[in-house]
Amino acid sequence: MKKQYKFNKWEYDITKNQGEGLKGYGYNLKIYKNNKLDYSPSIGFPDETQAYYYFETYMIENQFNIELD
C-alpha cells in the first residue's frame, strides 16, 4: 500500500517479499513522485526501517540536490 510522505508529492511503498527461504527474505521499496514510479532499487532491505531510511535519503537528495554522504 502506497504511503504519502509529508513533503511535496512523494510516496513510497514497502512490501514484504513472498516465498520460502531466500525468496521470502527482506522488503522491496518503490518510490513515487507525483503518482509516477520514480525509482525502485534492485536491492532487498532486511527490515522496513532501513527501507524507509533509504526512501528519506533518496527524497532529500533528489528534492534539494543535496548529497548526504
Range of the domain at 48: 3-64
Query: CB–CB of 55/12 below 8 Å?
Result: yes
Specify the pLDDT at position 15: 93
Give pLDDT tens digits for 45-67: 999 999 999 999 999 898 888 88
Give pLDDT tens digits for 34-48: 889 999 998 889 999
69 part of a folded domain? no
Residues 6+ apart with CB under 8 A from 3: 11, 12, 13, 14
Mean pLDDT value of segment 10-22: 87
Specify the pLDDT at position 6: 64
pLDDT-derived band at 2, boundaries 50, 70, 90: confident
18 part of a folded domain? yes
- State how many domains the chain has: 1
38 part of a folded domain? yes
Query: CB–CB of 15/27 below 8 Å?
Result: yes
9 part of a folded domain? yes
Measure the CA–CA gap between 37 and 39, rounded to whole angstroms. 6
